[in-house]
Amino acid sequence: MSYIANTSSQQEAMLGKIGKKSVADLFETVPKAVRLDRPLRVPPALSEMELTSLVAKLAGRNRHPGDLACFMGAGAYDHFIPAVVDTLSSRGEFVTAYTPYQAEASQGSLQVFFEFQTLICQLTGMDVANASLYEAGSGVAEAVMMAMSVTSRRGPVLIAGTVHPHYLATLRTYMANLEPEIRVLHCPGGYLEPSRLEAEVTEETPCVVVQHPNFDGSLEEVAELSRIAKAKGALFVQVFDPLSLGMLKGPGELGADIAVAEGQGLGTPMSFGGPYLGLMACRESLVRKLPGRLVGQTVDRKGKRCWVLALQTREQHIRREKATSNICTNQGLYAIRASIHLAALGPEGLRETARQCLEKAHHLRHLLVAKKVGEIAHVRPFFKEFRFRLGEGMPAAAECVDRLLEKGFLAGVPHPENPRDLLIAVTESRTLEEIEGFANALSALRATAGKGAGQ
């Protein structure tokens, strides 16, 4: 069957209606020099059974946390997903719901988004949360533009050098044709020193962006950084890890004006890099500048509880000069999954998940140091991820990752700043056997490298 299932007579009727003689005439505006004058080099058509077998073989070539012990992180983490998340989120009512443009006819979706917003507020200690953004990178960019709109300042945007480089790259893309400069504050010690921020922030700074825990996994001096920013009237934007809030103070308690996060760890598989879930919350006084959509609870004309899209700040819905964003939708399915995940964990489950991440990560780092695999890149408190510098006789980080893949380990992420640094994450999903096996396997690479050098 053709992909487009219309008949020759139907095609002729359509072509006649628009005054064309053939399908080829539709492409007459395309220069002949760039047209393909031969058939596509694709294999012959397959039957459904043959195609299913081929796709299964191709998929089997992928390596993923389902069959490997995953110590990768850098923004995507192998957190355990309770069965209830898949079971409930795969209900037809949720899977088929995308963007409720006729919102009042989608009460079930709106109610879940309202609950999602409530959970994010409870988690962060912030006043208001939107119904989600696309992922953390665009969330950072939206937070910065929101701060510019609130403060009307056009001085340099200050961002810690320890913020995820992908988030910084996304911000640069968003800001490429806007006036404010993006000034990255160098962090040689693996964290933003308050004195460095104090020397840079001015009355023209719209906002300061800090990630805590940061890209290296280390903790920042968030409360002090927030105080310094606010002393100059700048807004403070904190990028956070949702699961870290089982043990760490929330952005609201630390003085954040706007908080954004990657919500992948809340019930979303790693999925080879996406799609993911952006979280965003702010102080109540800033709600009119909040991008995306905000679901509110009210009553209908019969006095029954119902939900509506209470705020949409896209130019499609309000006067263009008042718009703060072009975001018109939200990550509906992943917001639903995050809501189910958080509700299933509860405060105690979230605390236990965070505790296991913390203790297992520290245990692995202790083993690596004890086995003389290398040294700690930065001596800072950390949560579930740490930057480790491979020692003498060890292969470079990228080679370690490749060689340990053969041993059944996703060994981490080579750090973009130093080829000898490995960014290693440990979640609650890792067993003690996997942790000790990984430490032994990494240590064995040093022994192998040393033996090869001797020969």
Residue whose structure tokens are 């060890």: 394
Output 384 or 450, whichever has higher pLDDT.
384
pLDDT band (50, 70, 90) for residue 105: low
**Nearest-angstrom CA–CA distance, 256 and 250:** 9
Please report the pLDDT score of residue 455 as a whole number.
42
The answer to whether the Cα torsion of 126, 131, 136, 140 is positive or negative is negative
Q: CA of 174: how far to CAs of 143, 179, 182, in Å?
A: 11, 11, 11
Please report the pLDDT score of residue 450 as a whole number.
54
SS3 readout for 310-362:
EEECECCCCCHHHCCECCCCCCHHHHHHHHHHHHHHHHHHHHHHHHHHHHHHH
* Residue 170 token pair: 């996304």
Q: Strands 258-262 and 69-70, how do they pair?
A: unpaired
**Nearest-angstrom CA–CA distance, 171 and 144:** 8
Q: Strands 293-299 and 278-282, how do they pair?
A: unpaired
**Nearest-angstrom CA–CA distance, 441 and 242:** 31
Distance of CA 30 to the CA centre of its chain: 39
> What CATH number labels 69-78+347-454?
3.90.1150.10
Mean of the pLDDT values across residues 21-30?
91
Residues of the chain with CATH 3.90.1150.10: 69-78+347-454
pLDDT band (50, 70, 90) for residue 100: low
Contact 391, 377 (CB under 8 A): no
Residue whose structure tokens are 């505790």: 355
CA-based end-to-end distance of the chain: 63
**Nearest-angstrom CA–CA distance, 280 and 299:** 26
Please report the pLDDT score of residue 3 as a whole number.
64
* Residue 118 CB-density burial (10 A; 0-12 exposed, 13-18 middle, 19+ buried): middle
Contact 319, 327 (CB under 8 A): no
- Which of 141-145, 238-242, 305-309 shows the lowest per-residue confidence on average (mean pLDDT)? 305-309
The percent of residues in the chain predicted with pLDDT above 90, rounded, is 78
Beta bridge partners of 210: 238
Q: Strands 409-410 and 385-390, how do they pair?
A: unpaired
- Extended beta strands in 224-287, E state: 235-240, 258-262, 278-282
The whole-chain average pLDDT of the chain stands at 92
- Nearest one of 287, 277, 429 to 361, comparing CA atoms: 429
Q: In what order do the strands lie in the sheet with 235-240?
A: 128-129, 278-282, 258-262, 235-240, 207-212, 157-160, 182-185
Mean of the pLDDT values across residues 36-62?
92
Q: SS3 for 201?
A: coil
Residues of the chain with CATH 3.40.640.10: 83-342
Please report the pLDDT score of residue 278 as a whole number.
97
Q: Is residue 116 over pLDDT 70? A: yes
Residue whose structure tokens are 């399915």: 333
**Nearest-angstrom CA–CA distance, 282 and 15:** 54
Phi, psi dihedral angles at 364 (to 5 degrees): -65, -45
**Nearest-angstrom CA–CA distance, 104 and 416:** 47
The percent of residues in the chain predicted with pLDDT above 70, rounded, is 93
**DSSP conformation letters of 363-406:** HHHHHHHHTTSEEESS---BSSEEEEEE-TTPPPHHHHHHHHHT
DSSP code, position 70? E
**Nearest-angstrom CA–CA distance, 37 and 452:** 54
Contact 203, 233 (CB under 8 A): yes
Q: Is residue 279 over pLDDT 80? A: yes
**Nearest-angstrom CA–CA distance, 400 and 405:** 8
Architecture in CATH of 83-342: 3-Layer(aba) Sandwich (3.40)
pLDDT band (50, 70, 90) for residue 317: low
3-state helix, strand, coil in the chain (%, to 5): 45, 15, 40
**Nearest-angstrom CA–CA distance, 108 and 178:** 39
Give start and end residues of each alpha helix (H) in 371-417.
Answer: 397-405
Output 255 or 328, whichever has higher pLDDT.
255
Q: Whole-model pTM?
A: 0.88
Q: Is residue 453 over pLDDT 50? A: no
**Nearest-angstrom CA–CA distance, 45 and 58:** 17
Q: Is residue 52 over pLDDT 90? A: yes
Mean of the pLDDT values across residues 27-56?
92
**Nearest-angstrom CA–CA distance, 300 and 321:** 31
Contact 422, 390 (CB under 8 A): yes
Output 452 or 142, whichever has higher pLDDT.
142
